[in-house]
Structure 1
């Protein structure tokens, strides 16, 4: 099968991918967006802290964005999944799950990450609704409410002050023996934050709204919200197969222009940064698209 030729292929058609595609479309670059419709935030009912779109659903934002990008004739969308890539000199060959083959000079991965959920009853149903990861995305909606932070490591001192700013009803859940130092425990106490060591057995909820946390010793405590930051894995393994390097936290390593460590390969969005916000993904994609267009223009000049 003869490969269809594009200047740029964007793998992943959520916010960062759509933003990159818009920039490239407006720059008249023949661009293909391959999207398997698996966005990171599909659990979340509403998106916040993004100007002009505050309170919209993620699906509404993505729908509007795609409709706007589709107006640019140089951008093509396909609903498919990229499963393999290889580099032949200055060209990348991409194969998809449906058996299609494409080639391109520049390759963008905006493929996001996949959260690894704990095996706790009720967790998945609450994730993105009342079990949340970001005080900027969700914290305002749970201001002044009884809130738990599930953490037992140094990251607690990143989250705790931000959440304590939104509510004084804060409890740290360690889900087992405390690993904080005496000084750290003293700091929590000073700020009126209680530490609960019980192991979590179940999240009791109503349609995803947390009501009660049940501990393994049969104790219960009511909470309105629970913050936690989950381990994750990359949604797409192709960058690794191409030789792209990752950070020690598991994110794709990029420079300030969203170039990976492999020439001609770029990455943007949640697969590159712990700052998981729609606004950040859009900004990343815009910048990545501009970087690619500048490089293509320089090569042609």
Structure 2
């Protein structure tokens, strides 16, 4: 590590292995590492595996990188960390995060199943979430191509095509009305009684959005993941080009919960305006926090968290 990075530290604290541990190497984690590297901070990034958008053929809406493959975006992100010698990237899975009086002790495991322990003054969780897709034949197989979650990310690619929206109640109503911005041919599939109010049905009807409440049997598509038909238990199959769904989600890791951090009613990690969780020194950024989910926004959150972490570290190093 560069010797210049150790010139500042709190006088009353032992020297830790790193200033910051970043758990997760997606858009949020790599963006945070870049900012912290430029601050001469000693950083370890633990890359635990593929990101949530790995099945998607492209990342859209990312300024200067619109349409890039998810793996290529991350490859470029890792490549651009190379000029910063104080940033280290390891393929490793974090097993435990233990708070200390002066920071955190972290135990992790390499891809060769070798464990190691390090200390860090601050920790950033950029671990993302897992989607809980409906247990419907074809849903998982078509996920990312024929089954989509975000019209802002994928609406342009399926514009003016026959589309469907899967779900029930208030959530499916809002998503269907949003998707109708990209196509005049949208059908809501509720997979049984939809729980739609009269008002919701009227709103959908005004936009010429049909509702089919038959039980869905399966989704039929191609080997490339393209949707062809929605097949019902009764009634005619519905030919569609793509289906949008907002699946339930859960945290990819349970570190925040195990550390006693505040969790929102929707299962997201609560953070303050500086990206810090309810546990001092532990930060979070990206899809694991509340709000809109998009690669560009995750990268922005990572950068914001890094700036706040660096400024907190600086205050600790330069007391009044």
Interval containing the TM-score (normalised by the shorter chain): over 0.9
**Pair 217,161 (structure 1): closer, same or farther in 2 beyond 3 Å:** closer
Indicate if the aligned counterparts of 1:170 and 1:194 stay in contact, CA closer than 8 A: yes
Instruction: Indicate yes or no: 2:167 matched with 1:151.
Output: yes
Indicate if the aligned counterparts of 1:106 and 1:265 stay in contact, CA closer than 8 A: yes
Q: Which shifted more, 260-269 or 151-160? A: 151-160
Structure 1: any 5+ residue segments left out of the alignment? none
Structure 2: any 5+ residue segments left out of the alignment? 1-14
Which residue pairs with 2:103 in the alignment? 91
Indicate if the aligned counterparts of 1:210 and 1:225 stay in contact, CA closer than 8 A: yes
Q: Which of 44, 53, 60 is equivalent to 2:72?
A: 60
Q: Which of 302, 312, 315 is equivalent to 1:285?
A: 302
User: What's the CA shift for 1:277?
Assistant: 0.8
Measured in 2, the distance between the counterparts of 1:121 and 1:268 equals 33
Measured in 1, the distance between the counterparts of 2:269 and 2:303 equals 18
Indicate if the aligned counterparts of 1:92 and 1:106 stay in contact, CA closer than 8 A: yes
User: What's the CA shift for 1:218?
Assistant: 6.0
* Counterpart secondary structure, 1:38: coil
Measured in 2, the distance between the counterparts of 1:218 and 1:64 equals 48
Number of residue-to-residue matches in the alignment:
299
Which residue pairs with 2:61 in the alignment? 49
Indicate if the aligned counterparts of 1:4 and 1:101 stay in contact, CA closer than 8 A: no
Measured in 1, the distance between the counterparts of 2:39 and 2:193 equals 56
Which residue pairs with 1:114 in the alignment? 130
Query: What aligned pairs does 1:201-212 form with structure 2 within 5 A after superposition?
Result: 201-206=217-222, 207-212=224-229
Measured in 2, the distance between the counterparts of 1:188 and 1:158 equals 9
Instruction: Indicate yes or no: 2:213 matched with 1:197.
Output: yes
Measured in 2, the distance between the counterparts of 1:196 and 1:219 equals 11
User: What's the CA shift for 1:4?
Assistant: 7.0
Q: Which of 155, 173, 177 is equivalent to 1:139?
A: 155
The TM-score with structure 1 as length reference comes to 0.96
User: What's the CA shift for 1:90?
Assistant: 2.2
Which contiguous aligned blocks of 4+ residues in structure 1 show a shift greater than 2 angstroms? none
User: What's the CA shift for 1:10?
Assistant: 0.2
Please list the CA deviations of residues 87-119 of structure 1 after superposition, one character each: whole Å capped at 9, or x if unmatched: 121221111133110111100000001111222
Which residue pairs with 2:30 in the alignment? 18
Measured in 2, the distance between the counterparts of 1:245 and 1:171 equals 38
Q: Which of 136, 142, 148 is equivalent to 1:126?
A: 142
User: What's the CA shift for 1:161?
Assistant: 2.6
Query: What aligned pairs does 1:253-268 form with structure 2 within 5 A after superposition?
Result: 253-268=270-285
* Counterpart secondary structure, 1:158: helix
Which residue pairs with 2:87 in the alignment? 75
User: What's the CA shift for 1:201?
Assistant: 1.4
Instruction: Indicate yes or no: 2:56 matched with 1:39.
Output: no
The TM-score with structure 2 as length reference comes to 0.91
Which residue pairs with 1:297 in the alignment? 314
Indicate if the aligned counterparts of 2:270 and 2:290 stay in contact, CA closer than 8 A: no
* Counterpart secondary structure, 2:115: coil
* Counterpart secondary structure, 1:155: helix
Measured in 1, the distance between the counterparts of 2:295 and 2:100 equals 34
User: What's the CA shift for 1:158?
Assistant: 2.9
Alpha-carbon RMSD across the aligned residues, in angstroms, is 1.3
Please list the CA deviations of residues 124-153 of structure 1 after superposition, one character each: whole Å capped at 9, or x if unmatched: 121111211111100001111101011212
Instruction: Indicate yes or no: 2:229 matched with 1:220.
Output: no
Q: Which of 191, 195, 198 is equivalent to 1:179?
A: 195
Which residue pairs with 1:237 in the alignment? 254
